[in-house]
Structure 1
Amino acid sequence: MTAKQHTIMLVDGMALLFRGFFATAFRGNFMKTSNGIPTNGVYQFMRYFLDAADKFEPTHVVCCWDMGSKTFRTDLYDGYKANRSNPPEELIPQFDLVKEVVEAFDIPNIGLENYEADDCIGTLARQYAKHHDVLILTGDQDILQLVDDGIRVAIMRKGIGNYDIFKQDTFVGQKGIHPRQIVDLKGLMGDTSDNYPGVKGIGQKTALKLIQEYETIDQILDNMDKLPNGVRKKIRENMDMLHLSRKLAEIRCDISVECMLDDALFHYDKQMAEDKLADLEFDHLMKLLH
């Protein structure tokens, strides 16, 4: 096997921004510029990003974003993410602001209407992993389904600089199933944070046991006669939602996004980056850059 040439870090922009915002907003003290623009989410986003760049030393970086709440998943199922409240008003101006900061570091911002950041990450990860090492930076467990040969996932934990790293050869030991089986697992148990039910009455424990025993939803359905009566009844009564939930859980890896590697080279103009940080009065971050 030939050595991989580069390490490409794909950043789940929304995951870092939301995490950064809520990590610093719990006391209601929002960092603001002297013009009154709230910046706490952007500031913490950059702290997370700079720590990860320092730790993982990527040669290339791409940042992926959701492009609004309407996607092909909301077309498939009205209730998808319908449990989520509107973002806090202090966060709204930071959506554009964070992209400006990312741009000042000469990092491409990637997103596609009708799809989620996860789908952009999945598609780019598959493209890049053919010849390079890919590291996905996120706080979102859904993305673990993308772990593969050449694709690692760093899940951020509480605080800064704490990560759970998932890679292909140790994944089963950590999670008890293979990365691709996560989609079927979530088809069975649903996902409360994304608001789809899976099979009503089947929780994580039962779903995991079924996947470990039968490997896929299709094989579970082929062996219905071997299942306990209660489980069989639940699956039969929720068959449509089982298939729909599986579809909602699966990250698309074939959408029409691309980013040329030359555009993603992690090599920024220090002056431009510092000017942007100075605009936002991020004095501490400027010290970190030095």
Structure 2
Amino acid sequence: MTKKVLLIDGMALLFRSFFATSVYNRFMYTSKGIPTNAVQGFVKHMISSMEAFNPTHVVCCWDMGSKTFRTEMFDDYKANRPAPPQELIPQFDLVKEVVEAFDIPNIGLAGYEADDCLGTLAKSYSEEAEVIILTGDQDVLQLITENVKVALLQKGYGNYEVLDENGFYEKKGLTPRQLIDLKAIMGDSSDNYPGVKGIGEKTASKLLMEYQTVEGILENIHSLTKSQRQKFEDSLELLHLSRELATIKCDVPVSCDLPLATITIDRDKVMDKFEELEFNGLHSFVSKVC
């Protein structure tokens, strides 16, 4: 039987689920006053993806706090992001309890982001299995390789844009690895790093199509327009810093032996957890996977 690993970007699913309902002030409190809207949405996304991709193994990756090696490198990294809403905070631990009830490993490492754990595990597992990374984060597309696909969440449940190497090239005109250099040049307003001031995605893509890499562009800087050359020369330090910030690490010290991620769902264990959290509307979802 072919091994197929579903790597779940837990943070992406949890935040997406929270804001999908919080915008309507639907927080779905338990009788003890604990909000569960994000966790319930997360479970729906998780089960829908398991039904859609039919994996043999599942692992869920998480951020472990806001301080990482990237914030040490650049103080302003993600500094523009507001603190998590009060109703979301108790759900960070709660969602991991629910994942645990499904006997799915929770993986995270202080000082690194969930993306780095996804990258490291994807690289490791791809040597012996097909890997699908489920996320809503376009940054993760850089991890696509011959044996690693990325499934981007679309509107609703069970809807995905699944990209492999060919699909990414058709969409962007670049290779997945070139996405790192693209972000290094154009910067990222969401993660709050600057790139090369005055160079946007269109110009950055065009330059990478012609010169392949940041190094290739700099080696041919005399061939750029006077304006482009000036912009690169003025932003050299920030360009190299931005590339480090944009690069997902695939060699962080995390591991999860594949047998531990084999799907072995104990329906009674899951239903006990649902009863504890008063997830009355999710029973039909569970029936799809166990």
Identify the match of residue 169 of structure 1 among 156, 166, 170: 166
**What residue is the counterpart of 2:232 in the other structure?**
235
1:96 corresponding residue in structure 2: 93
How far off is 1:169 after superposition? 2.7
1:180 and 2:183 correspond: no
Tell me the residue number matched to 2:54: 57
1:272 to 255, 258, 269: 269
Give the whole-Å Cα distance in 1 for the aligned partners of 2:115 and 2:84.
Answer: 19
- Could you tell me how far apart the structure 1 residues matched to 2:285 and 2:229 are? 57
| 1:37 is aligned to 2:34 | yes
**Matched residue SS, 1:97:** helix
* 8 Å contact from structure 1 (residues 145, 183) kept in 2: yes
Question: Paired residues, what number?
Answer: 287
Q: Could you say which residue in structure 1 is the equivalent of 2:222?
A: 225
Which of 199, 224, 238 is equivalent to 1:202? 199
Distance 1:209 1:222 in 2: 16
- Which ranges in structure 2 are unaligned for 5 or more consecutive residues? none
Query: 1:5 Cα deviation (Å)?
Result: 2.9
Distance 1:148 1:288 in 2: 32
1:117 aligns with 2:114: yes
Matching of residue 75 in structure 1 with residue 68 in structure 2: no
Deviation at 1:171, TM superposition (A): 2.0
Q: Taking structure 1 as the reference length, what is the TM-score of the superposition?
A: 0.98
Deviating 4+ runs (over 6 angstroms): none
The CA distance in 2 between the partners of 1:117 and 1:136, in whole Å, is: 12
1:287 deviates by 2.2
Matching residue within 134, 137, 141 for 2:134? 137
Amino acid at match of 1:143: V
Contact 1:5-1:131 at 8 Å conserved across structures: no
1:259 aligns to 2:252 (yes or no): no
Please state how far the C-alpha of 1:201 moved relative to its aligned partner.
0.6
Determine the structure 2 residue equivalent to 1:151: 148
Give a deviation string over 1:129-185, Cα, whole Å, max 9, x none.
011100000000000000001100000012112111110233211221000000000
Aligned equivalents of 2:286, 2:276: Cα separation in 1 = 15
Give deviations 1:47-78, integer Å, cap 9, x for gaps. 01110000000100000000000000000000
**Code of the aligned partner of 1:139:** G
Letter in 2 for 1:74: T
CA distance in structure 2 between the aligned counterparts of 1:150 and 1:168, rounded to whole angstroms: 9
**Percent identical residues:** 56
Cα distance in 1, alignment partners of residues 147 and 26 from structure 2: 41
Question: Which letter does structure 2 place at the counterpart of 1:161?
Answer: G
Q: Specify the SS of the correspondent of 1:171.
A: helix
TM-score, length basis structure 2: 0.98
> More displaced, 69-78 or 278-287?
278-287
What is the RMSD computed on CA atoms of the aligned residues?
A: 0.9
